[in-house]
Homo-oligomer: A and B are copies of this chain.
């Protein structure tokens, strides 16, 4: 059985948790509190030398980390969440790299700052740039989704799971999704799937 090292409020942790639920795969969840430094202990660094959650322990005791690589692994054994056709699979990769480079560092980090600092904290100074970058990412998503149901092809994929994780809680980062009707419709389509769980669930 897989063992997932995970912190419930983290959208990056939510990604594999959501896909495991959608796929109906049982797993053991180990809570790792990033706010208490539990990803920086020697024990955890032996699991992920980069000191981040999520990390997936496989049945032979080896570890896989990086949320989108875990999604890729779980989806790549004949599930509908990763297209077999190389070009469609590359499109899925494109949107997952977009998520980690142009979306998460803004929308997730803005949410983190608002959740974990008070109004006078120096990190609040980062919010202006985070807003700008986050809205730029939402603009790209809205434009792409205006005539599409999902990011790649006509089926939900791990690109949707990866982008859903922090977009659906973007309001907690101070983002207003009202001007993004295509994004809001897509969020509803993703969350309507059988097996869907909330970010607070497992």
A72 within 8 A of B: yes
Partner of A65, one of B49, B66, B76, B94: B94
Tell me the residues in window 97-127 of chain A with beta carbons closer than 8 Å to chain B beta carbons.
97-98, 100-102, 104-105
Q: Is the interface of A mostly helix, strand, loop or mixed?
A: helix
Complex CA distance for A142 and B93, rounded to whole angstroms: 26
**What is the count of identical protomers in the complex?**
2
B77 and A97 within 8 A (CB):
no
- Total interface residues in chain A, CB < 8 Å: 32
Query: What chain B residues lie within 8 Å of A70 (beta carbons)?
Result: 90
Closest residue of chain B to A63 (Cβ to Cβ) is B94
A132 within 8 A of B: no
Supply 6 further A-B pairs (C-beta < 8 A) apart from A69-B94, A76-B86: A72-B89, A72-B93, A76-B89, A100-B100, A100-B101, A101-B105
Partner-B contacts on A (CB < 8 A):
49-50, 58, 64-70, 72-73, 76-77, 86-87, 89-91, 93-94, 96-98, 100-102, 104-105, 140, 143-144
